[in-house]
Structure 1
Amino acid sequence: MRQTTKSFQKQFLEHCRKKNFFSSNDRVLLAVSGGMDSMALSHLIGILQLESKITIGIAHLNHRLRGAASDRDEAFVKTFALSHEYPFHCKRLDVRKQAKLSKKSIEEEAHNLRYTFFEKTAKQFGYNKICTAHHRSDQAETILMRIIKGSGMSGLSGIREKRGLFVRPLLVFSKEDIKKYVQAEKIKYVNDASNRDTAILRNRIRHDLIPLLRKKFDLQIEKHLIQLGLIAEETKSHFNRNAKKQYLQVCKASDGKIVLEIKAFNRYLRAQRHALIEFLFWNEFDQKLQFSDYERLSDLIEKKQSGKKVIFGNVICLKTADQIIFLTKNRLASPDFCFRIETGRNYSWKDPGFSFRSSFLPYSSELKSSFGRILNVEYIDKEKITGHLRLRNWKIGDKFKPIGMNGFKKLSDFFVDNKIPVLKKKKIPLLCEKIGTKENIIWVCGLRLDDRYKVDNRTRHLLKLEYNLNE
């Protein structure tokens, strides 16, 4: 048994190294419920800490669904964290009440609140990784649940080992192996009675459906579900690689809206259309759709009548004769702005809500070392300014020469490449130089300088530019 334990630890550590889950000096926030899986993960990450010099913090969300039992779990995790001198981050929420307000199931609302809590905690306390204890059985259950509820390729691909800040190093390991490890190492944990509640869909799948499928149909049902997930992930990745190119071919930004040409869109395969819409919503509106949302949008596209619409969160999708127009509820069109400015002065505008200042400085090599260190500060060659300056927002056809590039680039393409949502595009100030009838973009404020105005070895005087959003 002891040898098995050491073997499991070795497999876990090797898997973490192979996948580059962690690096020295990472700050890792462990999501710990107090159950078997999260306590096993905490034990294993503690071993990893000895060789990788990572910093560990513990996060626990008390859902307040089980009264004293929920408080017991919180106390258990807190005691564990303090005994190992790990920072302990805890929050208590009335999930049942929140679910009623959001009109979601308790399970879905609890999931959303947990992830929001983990992400906010990581941001507040400077953690660059969030570690959860999902394992191979969780993966199989998730894929099967999504098949039952209806899912596209993204859903069938299941849980990802790495997504943003989230890392799931136990995902390739079975529940049985984790259980053996916990027993062998005598790791303490608490039992959550709600995991046996078959009113919850995932629990019915775990305790009723998968055992039935294993007994009556397929002894290796979990293995085959996971294989399906891997194939779905590869297929999704293939379509996603082409989604940006296809998006640019069928969608155009127009006056603060995204306009999709239906005829061109319908030439693609269904899976391609799915990937394209996923790209649109994620990059332009920072929003993720459910499979049922895609179905509703597909129905809208197929309708012959104009003027029909569907709404997803804050995004309105409006059908015209041959287009779908995407825009947000709080913005049908952001107002344009254009302000003439003088160098060496400070400005602040309540609407559109930003401040701008410029100041003269002599060039020095010491000052050059600070270039690019502050996101909303840039330095340009003062002598390269020959016209008058103004700040305005983006308009169709704008081009500039991003620093480091030889050629010009459409600002609309630059925004897409940098994943700037369409609603934000019109709010980003552009510092421009007007020379007669000609106009050059100097700085896409907070994002990129134009190469023609950069500091070079002939520069003697600088113009320091500062841009900030008003609080």
Structure 2
Amino acid sequence: MIDKVISTIKRYKMIEANDKIVMGVSGGPDSLCMLDILYNLKDLFNLKLYVVHVNHMIRGEEAKRDAQFVKDMCRKLKLPFFLFEKDVKKIAKEMGYSEEEAGRYVRYQAFEEVLREVKGNKIAVAHNKNDVVETVFLNLIRGSGMAGLIGIKPVNGNIIRPLIEIEREEIENYIKEKDLKPVIDFTNYEDLYKRNKVRLKLIPYINETFEVDIIENIYRMAKIILEENDYLEKECEKIFNEVCYFNQEEIFSDIKKLRAQHPAIQRRLVRLMYQKLKGDIYGLEYIHVEDVLSLLDKPTSSKIDLPFEIEALKSYNNLIMRKVKEKEAKTFWAKLNIPGITKICGVGQFKASVLGIEEIKKLNIGKYTKFFDYDKIQEDVVVRNRQAGDIFSPLNLGGSKKLKEFFIDEKIPREIRDSIPLLAIDNEIVWVVGYRMSDKFKVDENTKKCPCDRVYQRIK
């Protein structure tokens, strides 16, 4: 099989003499096979190899076992080992990704970080022929265009896939012959994820029902589409230089020239604009491309948001795609006068009154009026915007959490979070104004008097 991998390497010009390659190794059969083969080719190409393992912190002790296995393997082979521990569930929640998308994101971030540290030039990952076919099916189900039918490219920038022409069965045979003992992630055998359903149910069903080798047939199709797509990409790059102007932060496309192109080229130009801004095409789907093209028939200043903080808008004769510029947040801070009025320019006016428990029963409580137990407030209360380390105990939810987690849970848009007024004691949040107060300062059966805080108006 090593000869077959060498053939793949030469066909796609994956590896050259003296390359410094960062390898992603999970410890499973595929990555262990790739590690063993590249280690055996080390002297042939005079390679320097570096191993990266990412613990997604999902499988507990089992994941730590995998990391230790890869570390021990590297010690045995005398290869540099880099371990990253990333809370993928948390990252997925914060970024609005699926766990699978977040896992991919953190892995490639880790690979790139090590690549910079060791001054490497290639990243090797262990995708095989079966992975290509599974990806094609997933893209078909999602409604992908031609690029999705490629599945996975053998070479994509500095990322190489030496096992791309090897079937999973061949890898398993190689592992047995070499007496390698991979660690097994048993979640790969559970049909919880779409990819696993394709692998465990769809492909075996097609093979059995239609008596075909669907892996070979789909892979052959993907290879043909890859070659044709490469040609179209080169042609599209030429058209891009005629139709678009790129200045790193934004891309202008002449609408008249864009309209003159075939719809297939129009779609490719939109994807290319997005790729040049973001660095890759990941996250952009068919519906996004169609939404961008729909701007051509809309009034000037029409705008849509795209994934990863990119936006597209129509401006007279130009279609513009650009990175969303973060607005610089204005910091505000003021001690809350209890009792009294506190004014913060551009934020609002706060009135605080100290009332008896009987008096509050006569008042209406609204979104901007809250009652707190005065005896629980032992220190100065300030009105400010958020700071690093803020902690919040939302009313009736039990327990404390980071304020950032509260914003995520409440789906509060990122761009307005810095402008939301907070009542705080040090970094303990008393009230997220307009949203929820803290459970720690609520009125209960023991309350005798309350400061009533309310926002009357915004002050410009």
TM-score by length of 2: 0.66
Alignment pair present for 1:262 and 2:261:
no
Aligned to 1:300: 295
Per the TM alignment, residue 25 of structure 1 is displaced from its structure 2 partner at its CA by 2.1
- Counterpart of 2:217, as a letter, is H
Alignment of 1:385-396 (within 5 A): none
- Counterpart of 1:307, as a letter, is S
Alignment pair present for 1:228 and 2:221:
yes
Tell me which of 125, 129, 137 is aligned to 1:136. Answer: 129
**Alpha-carbon distance change, 255 to 103 in structure 1, aligned in 2, over 3 angstroms:** closer
* 1:292-333 deviation line (CA, Å, top 9, x unaligned): 3213213333x434432112233221124654222332289x
Tell me which of 293, 305, 319 is aligned to 1:311. Answer: 305
Aligned to 1:65: 58
**Alpha-carbon distance change, 252 to 160 in structure 1, aligned in 2, over 3 angstroms:** closer
Which of 199-208 and 226-235 deviates more?
226-235
- How many angstroms apart in 1 are the aligned matches of 2:98 and 2:247? 38
* 1:311-357 deviation line (CA, Å, top 9, x unaligned): 2233221124654222332289xxxxxxxxxxxxxxxxxxxxxxxxx
* 1:66-86 deviation line (CA, Å, top 9, x unaligned): 111100100100010011111
Structure 2: 5+ residue runs without aligned partners?
A: 328-460
**Alpha-carbon distance change, 314 to 88 in structure 1, aligned in 2, over 3 angstroms:** same
Aligned to 1:273: 266
Alignment pair present for 1:196 and 2:180:
no
Compare CA radii of gyration and give the structure with the larger one.
Answer: 2
Aligned to 2:275: 282
Aligned to 2:71: 78
* 1:369-420 deviation line (CA, Å, top 9, x unaligned): xxxxxxxxxxxxxxxxxxxxxxxxxxxxxxxxxxxxxxxxxxxxxxxxxxxx
**Alpha-carbon distance change, 38 to 253 in structure 1, aligned in 2, over 3 angstroms:** closer
Checking the alignment, whether the CA contact within 8 Å between 1:99 and 1:106 is kept in structure 2 is yes
Aligned to 2:158: 165
Report runs of 4+ in structure 1 exceeding 4 Å deviation: 252-257
- How many angstroms apart in 2 are the aligned matches of 1:68 and 1:106? 19
Aligned to 1:184: 177
TM-score by length of 1: 0.64
Which of 48-57 and 18-27 deviates more?
18-27
- How many angstroms apart in 2 are the aligned matches of 1:93 and 1:317? 32
How many equivalent pairs are there? 324
Alignment of 1:27-106 (within 5 A): 27-106=20-99
Which of 108-117 and 279-288 deviates more?
279-288
Per the TM alignment, residue 233 of structure 1 is displaced from its structure 2 partner at its CA by 1.7
**Alpha-carbon distance change, 135 to 253 in structure 1, aligned in 2, over 3 angstroms:** closer
Which of 243-252 and 323-332 deviates more?
323-332
* 1:20-72 deviation line (CA, Å, top 9, x unaligned): 32233221222110001111111111111132221111110000111111001
- How many angstroms apart in 2 are the aligned matches of 1:133 and 1:56? 14
3-state SS in 2 of match to 1:61: strand
Checking the alignment, whether the CA contact within 8 Å between 2:12 and 2:155 is kept in structure 1 is no
Structure 1: 5+ residue runs without aligned partners?
A: 1-7, 333-471
- How many angstroms apart in 1 are the aligned matches of 2:180 and 2:39? 13
Aligned to 1:250: 243
- How many angstroms apart in 2 are the aligned matches of 1:188 and 1:285? 39
Checking the alignment, whether the CA contact within 8 Å between 1:239 and 1:271 is kept in structure 2 is no
**Alpha-carbon distance change, 220 to 98 in structure 1, aligned in 2, over 3 angstroms:** same
Alignment pair present for 1:208 and 2:196:
no
- How many angstroms apart in 2 are the aligned matches of 1:225 and 1:191? 27
Aligned to 1:351: none
- How many angstroms apart in 2 are the aligned matches of 1:253 and 1:47? 44
* 1:198-230 deviation line (CA, Å, top 9, x unaligned): 121111110011111212235122222212212
- How many angstroms apart in 1 are the aligned matches of 2:5 and 2:119? 25
- Counterpart of 1:308, as a letter, is S
3-state SS in 2 of match to 1:275: helix
**Alpha-carbon distance change, 163 to 257 in structure 1, aligned in 2, over 3 angstroms:** closer
Which of 73-82 and 241-250 deviates more?
241-250
- Counterpart of 1:54, as a letter, is L
Aligned to 1:451: none
- How many angstroms apart in 2 are the aligned matches of 1:80 and 1:185? 14
- Counterpart of 1:247, as a letter, is F
Across the aligned residues of Structure 1 and Structure 2, the Cα RMSD in angstroms comes to 2.3
Alignment of 1:312-331 (within 5 A): 312=306, 313-320=308-315, 322-330=317-325
Checking the alignment, whether the CA contact within 8 Å between 2:249 and 2:323 is kept in structure 1 is no
- How many angstroms apart in 1 are the aligned matches of 2:72 and 2:248? 56
